[in-house]
Structure 1
Amino acid sequence: MATTISHGEKNSGFQAGVINGNIGNITIVQSETLNQECLRDLRTTDPLDDKERIKNSKGGLLKDAYRWILDNKEFRQWQDGQKDRLLWIRGDPGKGKTMLLCGVTEELTRLYGDNANILFFFCQATDPRINSATSVLRGLIYSLVKKHPSLLPYVRARYDHAGKALFEDVNAWNVLSTIFKDMLKDPTLQMTYLMIDALDECINGLDSLLDLIIQESSANLQIKWVVSSRNWPEITERLHIVTQLAPVSLELNEVSVSEAVNQFIQHKVQELAKAKKYSNKTRDAVQRYLLSNSQGTFLWVALVCQNLEKIRINVLKKLESFPPGLNTLYRRMIDQVRESEDAELCKEILAIMSTVFRPITLHELTSLIELPGDGDDDHIPLEEIIAICGSFLTLREHTVVFVHQSAKEFLLKEALSEILPGGIEAQHNMICARSLDVIFKTLQRDLFKIKLPGLPAKDICKPSPNPLAAAEYACVFWVDHLQGSKRNKSYDLGLNDRGPVDVFLQQKYLHWLEALSVLGSVSNGIRAMQKLEVLVQSVSTLEGHSVEVFCITWSPDGRQLTSVSWDTTVKVWDIATSQSMSTLEGPTDMIFSIVWSPDRRYIASSSNDRIVIIWDPATGQRVSTLKGHSNWVNSIAWSPDGSLLASASSDRTVRVWDPATSQSLSTLRGHSDSVNLIAWSPDGTRLASASNDNTVGIWDPATGQSMSSLRGHSDSVNLIAWSPDGTRLASASNDNTVGIWDPATGQSMSSLRGHSDSVNSIAWSPDGRRLASASDDGIVKIWDPATGQSASTLDGHSAKVFSIAWSPDGRLLASASGDMTVRVWDPVTSQSVSTREGPSHGIKLIAWSPDGTQLASTSNDNTVRIWDPANGKGTLTLEGHSCGINSIAWSPDGARLASTSNDNTVRIWDPATAQSVSTLEGHSAEVFQIVWSPDGTQLASTSNDNTVRIWDPATGQSISTLKVDSYYISSIAWSPDGSLLATASVYMTVQVWDPVTNLSVSTRDGHSLGITSIAWSPDGIRLASASNDYTVGIWDSTTGQSILNLEGHSRAIKAIAWSPDGTRLASASHDNTVRIWDPATGQSMSTLYITSRGFLDFDKFNPNHLHTSLDNMDMV
């Protein structure tokens, strides 16, 4: 008897099937194999489906429209010969390149059938699923594996470790291109034809894709390529270097193309005449008009015929309203939209479609537009509105798409002011606001009634109607639109406290994550939050100046900010509201400097009209004018008590004024060139000046006498700043450096180097622990003046940064730029952080310092933390990697710590200051392991790019590169004297290398499964290897011969370590044991039971003490 057992609703998480007969005979069948999972994650779209969709949307494939290419000389040479491996079809928009490729694919399929692989991919700029180089590779690999499942292991070898992220993370292109190249080299692969349409519509990674095509078109005689593109110079320049290139220009084949268009016209007119019941006269007149005006452009013909389908009467009269040429036709269609009764709605839809990041469905469009009418009965069906926009938009299975990429380009270039009168930023802002609105209205807890968590997304039954149908686009792309609206006035309001984004994070964030998981878009959500994190670094943007802003100053209480622009105005801003309070207008010449009085009652400004003006910031009115300089006044500064005002001029002097009487009290002379800047010491007893004579002067303002002259810069000194306690003075110069001086002795304390262009502004934090600098390179840097190291970098301006200023509490930093904006930042630093708790993201790896006094650990938040093992407290946090950290290693002297990351870099840190000393760049894929040479002068790293690099940690330069014949290097180890390097791979091979010659000294294959770890004996004579085959091998490092094979573990071995005297060898296994071996006899001496096995090492000071990830263990 059959029994059916069920529990709960469809998505309750438990569904029992039919139990037949004896329970012992029940067979559990998995619904999906791992291969199917891999293919499903690999697929973005199926190129075969894309081709059919394209053919159907263009009314089918007309053989007479592509027949000419089959007899073309260049095509025949490419098809029949061995010399030309790359056929490049190029032409202007609408010339029929896509349908030509469709025709070529079908012709090659007809000719070769199963005797060749015919693979193709159609790029489309408006669809993010098929508009990137990575998408192209995913499509080609997917098609190849579908036809030849035996090639899937090339993908599975990496997929089984990484999952879907393999195809989507920052390294996807590098990984996929390696897989693709390996597949093309497979000896079983037949002759293969690879076709890529519309290279110009590959928005992301075009250069990388072109590199791959150029390289592979000459590397493999079994592969032939066909690509198409517009006549873009950047593509032309790259492809013309290919020696095996067969170019087909549609413009140079004008006669053939025109004849093909004529055939297309005859076909379309016959369809029209039949459908619209044209008379012979009308049919002939339509055909003549199209033949006379098509200009050899398929798209123009298709668009005119599409419009003729809607015309019922006066066909010939209306026919003449369609001008020749694509852009003139688009212009006529815009005029038609403007003249329609639903013009505003049409323009709103065109504006939305020109701004969204992918084609959207009708449901999604409904949530983003404002429909007219008071009730549903007044709403015009969207299908009808789309029809009015028919020369630009069309519907494909309820999805709104552009008829052609050229239609979108016309709207954004030629009709921008008509469809987007407020600008593209305002449109992004509107879509962001409406996206958040639909998110707030739609999302709620357990929207799909899943009830029990943990049900795979693919197993969730989506109800009809789908509650997420209208919100899917909004959920995935709202942050992208927020980012796109950065220059819009409403942008800052959205990021304010209690603004829409703040409310979203507090009320809808978890519901949003749930929706993304159901949509299979969690990775998009992660990227969205990363973008949002960058956006909120810039707290607000103040806009109002008409040209570049070059100087800013905070009011003493931090509530107001003044900005100076090349438009000769000064604006006073209210930080809380981001609104302009007043505008100071008066100087007819350029304002150079502006400062608040300490009591906030006055603002002083200087300009190139040789005067100093004192203003009332509340009213914007002038209070007094100070005259006396004979040249431009470059800088002014109030004394700390506000009783005096100093000014510096191009007349080589500094003047000290009494602002109450407007009288000059003293004139300081001594510089031999213009004085650019002045600054009072915090106690008001000294005055510093910076000059074009490359020096900094220290003065006694009471006597006017020079106290010292600071020399060291090699170019003009433009900036100076006292530390808050007056014990240090910072200076910035056109030599791109910042100097830190002891003003008491006149000695240089350090020189900060890191900017690539002139430094325009420097500012100490209120506590004196940080120094910020801004440069013509568009970057703001925050330094640790004690070490001279860069602590963090603020990158967001799109032009030179002219000025920076800390808020009085040191929590905010403002910067002014040539991009006409002022940005207020919440600076992210790399300062030491003391805490009593471990990282909230968990500990991944640990490493003891050589003297055992410190412990380093890594966390899932991409940081390294330094611990004091005596009290368990974290002492420092090292931040800088942008992706997960894979390995850490102390230098032998404990003075440096190295880390490797999935961001393809190695970083070297100073563990005393938490500063990044250098970043080693050169690997093209994830960097996994790092090992210092015994003397600490070299560093070896392994990577997924199949190389081992040897670095000089002192200079950060790569010394040599070892190319390993293995897909994954699992372990590396230096010999005790540093003369040799051993590598082990998951392919069961141990190699010993001479890093000087880059040659392999010996190779040993012996394990039956992958090797996980290797370790040299202290005398360098033996090499031990741990393997997934449950054994430890001991080898002669010189000959590669096996000495012993240690057996006893019941699961894979992950770590091994020699005792300092070489008399014992420890191994840690997944069987939760550590075994101690006698390497002379191969006998197991003892077995220790643990619950962690990631780290293993003998104590260098006590050979009877063993360190593990879990704890320290005594052997006796």
Structure 2
Amino acid sequence: MAGTEYQHNNSGPGDQFVAAGPQNNNSGSGTQYSAHNINFNSAAQDSDASLFADLRITDPRDDKDRIEHTKGGLLRDSYSWILENPDFQEWRNGSEKRLLWVRGDPGKGKTMLLCGLINELADEGVEPVYFFCQATDSRLNTATAVLRGLIYLLLEKRPSLIQFVRDKYRHGGKRFFEDANSWTALGKILAKMLDHEGQPMGNIVLIIDALDECTAHLDDLVDFIVKLSSTHTRVIVSSRNWLNIQRGMETAEQQRQICLELNEDSVSAAVVTYTNYKVDRLAQQKGYDEALRDEVQNYLLSNSDGTFLWVSLVTQRLEDRRLPRRRTLTRLREFPQGLDALYGRMLDQVFESEDQTLESEDVDIRKKVLAVVLVAFQPLDLKELATLIEPPMEDELLVEIIGECGSLLVLRDNIVYFVHQSAKDFLWRYRLDEVIPLGIGHQHTLLFSNSLRAMSTTLRQNIHNLTFFGGQTEETEEADPDPLAPIKYSCVRWAQHLSEGFPITSLECDQVLAFLKEHYLHWLEAMSLIESMDEGIACIVRLKDVTQNSAELFRLAHLVHDAFRFVKQFCAGIEKSPLQVYSSVVFAPTRSIIKDLYQHEVPHWWSMQMAPPQNDDWSKCLQTIELNESYQIATAAFSSDGKALVLSLGMGIIQVRDADTGGCINVLEPGWGDFSILATSGGSILAVASEGDVFLFNILTGKEVEKMIETGETKVSSVAFAPNGAILATGSTEGGLLLWDMQTHECVRTLEANNQRGSIESIVFSSNGLYVAAAVNNNIAAWDLNTGWQLRTFVGHEGKIVLVAFAPDNYHVQSASSDGAVKVWDMTNSAFQLINIPIEKWTKVAFSTDLNKVASMSSSFDRIQIWDSTTGYLLGTLDNNGDVDFLAFSPDDAMLMSATYWGGTVKLWDVRDYMETSLMAPSQEDQCIFSMAFSSDGTQLTVVSGSAVQIWDANTGQCLRKLDGWETSRGVASVTFGNDGILLAIISEGKIGVAEIWNVCTKTCLQSLADERVSGSIEELVFAPDNATLAILTEDTVSLWDAAEGICRVVYNRPHPYFWSNDMKFSETGSHLYDYDSWKDGENAIRWVAHTDTAYMGIEIAPLEPLHISGYSIQDSQAWIRKNGEDIIWIPPEYRTSTYATRGPMMALGYVSGRVIFLRFT
């Protein structure tokens, strides 16, 4: 192969490999090989068909057809009046008024009017992109749903615009369209699509019907529409005459309004036309003579009040095939004038029965159906509704009952809705006591009870019969028929109905206890399958809220607390893969109630043993929130009420997360910049600073509050709110401390530190609002807020002050400096007390709100430490299992948050008591495990730590022997057993020489290997099958050694690390050493090979065999155990490690604490 060049180019989807640059020259005898031009890049194409499928929640074109069909067809004469309206004509003729708002009361025909405009504009060559909001359909009543529908239809019309969605979808998949960030991200995408490359799409018109039926984030949607109207995009919207919508719309300078009440003559004429049309159809269908036709028409025109909906509802009742023609006028005159009166009469009819012998039973069933639909938090599927009625009903009977309530309810696509939102409003306002005579609280309790009954009879382990234990939720195909379909609503809403109902009695307590004992894990599996884990955690939080502080509910509260700890600890894995809920039981502590109840449902094919034994109780880590790997946490804080976490993630992104569930509440995007300085007020206002500007947001709504504050300083270094939220203080790197009025955003006072120059850090207000203090270099300045006078300057810290806080009594100030000193200062005389905390220097520090505790992370100790700030005593430690860049106590001091800059990990800790809380037993630094290896028969495990090499019995977890002569420096180590189970090769970074070969039986060192040609950090070593040769891989070289003589036979200059992996294997005869991470060229496999007899190393090209990845391993992210390359067991964050060994069905995990976990598979 000498002189050969290998180059490879691919096109199309899939992995691509292209060659570039000379790579390798080897020394020693034998044929030489140089490879040119080897590069890797991935060009896997996402399926646009999958993107469309995941984006689609509905096709607005189908909605339009359904609406027109439901309302009896679209009659042009009923809407054509608007085509002659001056406001509409001005809008259509290209006026600068690009937003057209059609508004009117219920039943005035707004939806059908917009359906007509869509048709008219399309006939003129315009391309309408539209969406119909519906309050009674949870798919169609959110601001995000509106954006998804508009983008979907726009992509159907302009497929090339998919480029704006593709990149985001590639990273987030279906979740990109559904998570808390989707509103913000989709809004930006739609805006970019509408102004592609600065070229506005003049032919596109956005049309949104029924803004008032958008029940989630309506204000955000209105703001978005107003902003669009200031661009070149033309928009038509409709809504009721709601004040909040009107206020939002009136902020748009470029808008026109068409109020249907102000166009009463035109609307009335349209209603007449519509009425004539409906009567003509009735006459044809029912065989009316002219006299009957005229009488029906006159009654409808006299009583409709110019309302399309009234005419539609009445004519639907007259269309009933069971109604004889002779009774037409009798039935017609039963319907009074006006919508509310009509609804009242319709309800009276629902409560009547034609068969008097069955009247009581008929009315009772109808009331049950109306009560469930009225109180349910969302429209119900027919199967869901059937399970919520006691006793459960067959679908056919339920369809019949809904038909009997047809004047108020309608069934569309197997979803039960009210005929109109105004019908539901009527029942709530005027006739609630008749529909639900025992009260709303009773109805909620009833729905809770029926939900538990339905779930208990349906839920079971592996309800979808999944064959792949590690299958991801998004990859799981929905079963057909889906056994979860009838109970989806119950799964998500049962706890909400419990909390909204009557106070819990012993009956409900026993029901919940029984459910959690029998079906808790089954329910969590179901919540993962229906992609509702955040709602699942919220259910358990609701249970905690309703059971706490109640002596009567002690048993339930105890179980709920354990269930809460279980789901918080393992929710990330369960959310990814439903069946991981059963594996998670293994990782729960020994005293966990859930572990005891569900031990029998742990997969039988694996087991776990710890040495030392597993902890008895839950660790103090309540939850680990793992963010997107691309995020870097710039700062982290609790909201002032402790209910939310505020995370600044760089790239101008700030996330607000629920402190109970960990779920994302809002995403704020103030713009590109470093937003590492932030503060929250008691009024849910967040201030974030970048350079010299301060942006203000409402963290509950995610909306920016008015304009930003321009401080005029070069860089803001600190911000803080006064206790009442009325004043915002900003400190700058130039030494300015400014006080801002939050009403006017004007600077009301400038405070100066006497004789002090330097950056203002760590501003803090006293709880009574009278004083403000801040760090200036190594000193602290305190001012009177009312006069602006500087009251005190506290001098005495040797290091830079990193944290300042007022004591609850407002007369003492506590401070911490970078050198580890904590001092308490007296405001009356400047005296201080030094708190003796034995740390030379810390990297991060936080004070509890009551100043009784100090949390610290130091460079000399790799755990979070909690100190008593009065005595300086150590109260407890928390093993964060990595660096900590931010620490913060919750306002009630019940939790501590730690966050890591790199990797975006946030942990919440329970700090209400102070026992040792590390998952792994406390240990000295020299117990850290660097490497492990099984013997060839899997009976022994070698464990290399900082202090010893130990041989363990792999079955019992007991230490068999220790190699006394071994010592290692802190750093990387690697170990491997010989194939006879006697020889052991060990390498350690920092030791003299390359490696040592030991006899584990005699505990003696046989060879100490050294060669100056071998260099670079250690990565791997492996024995040949006969133990005669040892291969050592370092960063720079691959070397082969005579194990008996301790002589290095050959050293290869290692190819680029990308081209020689850490997966070396000898051939069966030991004549070849292979790199088993090969890459592909069509039908051939290409891999590096070293010939141990000729000292040649080069590339081997061989026919490509089917890829069979065998055995157990840990995924690169350390989050999954794999079997044959497929994920099978999710590893909780506290149990993750990069140090592990495998042999056949055995796996061992090693930790920095010295603990070893043995896993056995069958």
Say which structure is richer in strand. 1
Q: Which one scores higher on RCO, CA 8 angstroms, separation ≥ 6?
A: 2
